[in-house]
Amino acid sequence: MKKIFITVGILLLSGCSHNVVQQKNETHHYLCGTTPLTVAFNGEDKTASLVMDGEQLKLKQITASSGYKYSDGKYTFGTTGQNAFVERNDKVIMSDCVLAK
C-alpha cells in the first residue's frame, strides 16, 4: 500500500513539473545544422513563434506523444528534450535542430 502512495505521489509531482514548463514565456535558440532558429514560446497562449521561409509564424500547441508540438496546419515545430524539428506540409524540412547553449 505504501508503494502505491509513493508511486501516485511521484506521478502527481511529475505532472506538476510538466505544467510549469508550459506556463513559461521563453525564447530558445536552436542550431539546425548550420542554420540558426529562434523560437519564442508563450505559455499563456500555448504558442510558439518563429520565422520560417521569411514568414513570421505563430503556431498553436497540439497534442504530442512526447515533448511539445506546435502547428498552424502548414508548419509544425516539435521538441523532445534538447532536440527539435520543423515540418512543412507534413514533410520534415529540418530534423537536426539542437538547443544552443
- In this prediction, residue 23 carries a pLDDT of 53
Per residue in 57-101, pLDDT (tens digit) is 999 999 999 999 999 999 999 999 999 999 999 999 999 999 997
Domain-embedded: residue 1: no
Query: Do residues 82 and 97 make contact, with C-beta atoms less than 8 angstroms apart?
Result: no
- In this prediction, residue 24 carries a pLDDT of 83
Domain-embedded: residue 76: yes
Q: Which residues of 77-101 are buried (b: 16+ CB within 10 A; e: fewer)?
A: bbbeeeebbbbeeeeeebeebeeee
Residues in the chain, total: 101
Q: What would the mean pLDDT of 26-39 be, rounded to a whole number?
A: 95
Domain-embedded: residue 64: yes
User: What is the pLDDT of the chain when averaged over all its residues?
Assistant: 83
CATH number for 30: 2.40.128.200
- Tally helices (H) and strands (E) across the chain: 1, 8
Domain-embedded: residue 70: yes
Q: How far apart are CA 8 and CA 22, in angstroms?
A: 22
Domain-embedded: residue 18: no
